[in-house]
Amino acid sequence: MGRERWRGRHTAAHAGGMGSLHRATAATVRAVVAMGHALGVSRVPPQPTAPPLQRICSDLHRLDLEREWLLTNPPVPALYHRLLAVSWAYDHALRDACSALGVPAPERDPFGQAERLATEAELSAAGLRW
């Protein structure tokens, strides 16, 4: 019983110590941020970046293979929904590739079959291979 009592006190003291450390750290961070604001320095949030072109190409390749696999294996459960999801993801990757290469992307979302084919041809003409 003595050992259990000691462990209980140790745990309670340890938890209290960590709480006060957390409060002190939070207060220090608030003070540094306030000092930065007073000096006219503010934190600039990072700008969102587009995915690298290699990743876009690998996504296009993977999604194209997935779409082909779904079309050749009709007894897949929820085939329509899977094809729809893969098509939307493929269109999104095409749009990313268009913005990365400066090729105009179709306005409509999701792409129609003709728009998708024309976009693929334009990206291919711009030198993109996937």
- Per-residue pLDDT tens over the stretch 28-71: 878 877 887 788 877 777 777 889 999 999 999 999 999 999 99
Q: What is the DSSP string of the chain?
A: -HHHHHHHHHHHHHHHHHHHHHHHHHHHHHHHHHHHHHTT--PPPPPP-PPPHHHHHHHHHHHHHHHHHHHH-TT-TTHHHHHHHHHHHHHHHHHHHHHHHTPPPPSSSSPPHHHHHHHHHHHHHTT---
The model's pTM is 0.63
Q: Quick check: 4 pLDDT over 60?
A: no
- Per-residue pLDDT tens over the stretch 64-99: 999 999 999 878 899 999 999 999 999 999 999 999
